[in-house]
Amino acid sequence: MHFVTAFRIAVRRRANPSSRHKACVAAALLLSMLFARMAAAQTPHTVVLEDLTWTEIRDRIHDGKTTIIVPIGGTEQSGPYMAVGKHDVRAAILSQRIADGLGNALVAPVITYVPEGGYDPPTSHMRFPGTISVPDDVFEKTLESAANGFRVHGFRNIVFLGDHGGYQKDLRVVVERLNKAWAKSAARAFAPPEYYRASSDGFARILRQHGYRDDEIGMHAGLADTSLLMAVAPQMIRDEVLRSAPKPGAADGVYGGDPRRSSAQLGQLGIELIVAQTVAAIRQETARR
Provide the residue ranges of all domains of the chain, joining segments of one domain with +: 3-42, 49-287
- Per-residue CA distances from 225 to 3, 94, 107, 251 (Å): 53, 14, 23, 17
List the one residue out of 93, 76, 48, 125 whose CA is nearest residue 234. Answer: 93
Query: What is the residue-averaged pLDDT of the chain?
Result: 90
Half-sphere exposure of 44 (CA within 13 A, CB side): 12
What SS3 class is residue 82? strand
In terms of DSSP bridges, do strands 105-107 and 157-162 run parallel, antiparallel, or are they unpaired? unpaired
What predicted TM-score, i.e. pTM, was given to this entire model? 0.84
In DSSP terms, which residues pair with 69 in a beta bridge?
107, 159
Instruction: Give pLDDT tens digits for 197-237.
Output: 999 999 999 999 999 999 999 999 999 999 999 999 999 99
**Which of 38-47, 194-203, 280-289 has the highest mean predicted lDDT (pLDDT)?**
194-203
Classify domain 49-287 at the CATH topology level.
Rossmann fold (3.40.50)
pLDDT value for 36: 47
Whether 282 has a pLDDT exceeding 80, the answer reads yes
Q: Give the DSSP letter of residue 108.
A: P
Q: Is 69 helix (H, G, I), strand (E, B) or coil?
A: strand
Rounded to 5 degrees, what are φ and ψ at 189? -110, 145
DSSP class of residue 244? T
Judge contact between 98 and 253, C-beta under 8 A: no
Question: Could you give the CA distance from residue 112 to residue 110 in angstroms, rounded to a whole number?
Answer: 6
> How distant, in Å, are the alpha carbons of 32, 34, 37, 95 from that of 11?
15, 16, 21, 50
Do 260 and 277 meet the contact criterion of CB atoms below 8 Å apart?
no
Could you tell me if 107 and 92 are in contact, meaning their C-beta atoms sit under 8 angstroms apart? yes
C-alpha of 6 from chain center:
44
d(CA 42, CA 264): 35
Lowest mean pLDDT among 13-27, 40-54, 83-97, 141-155: 13-27
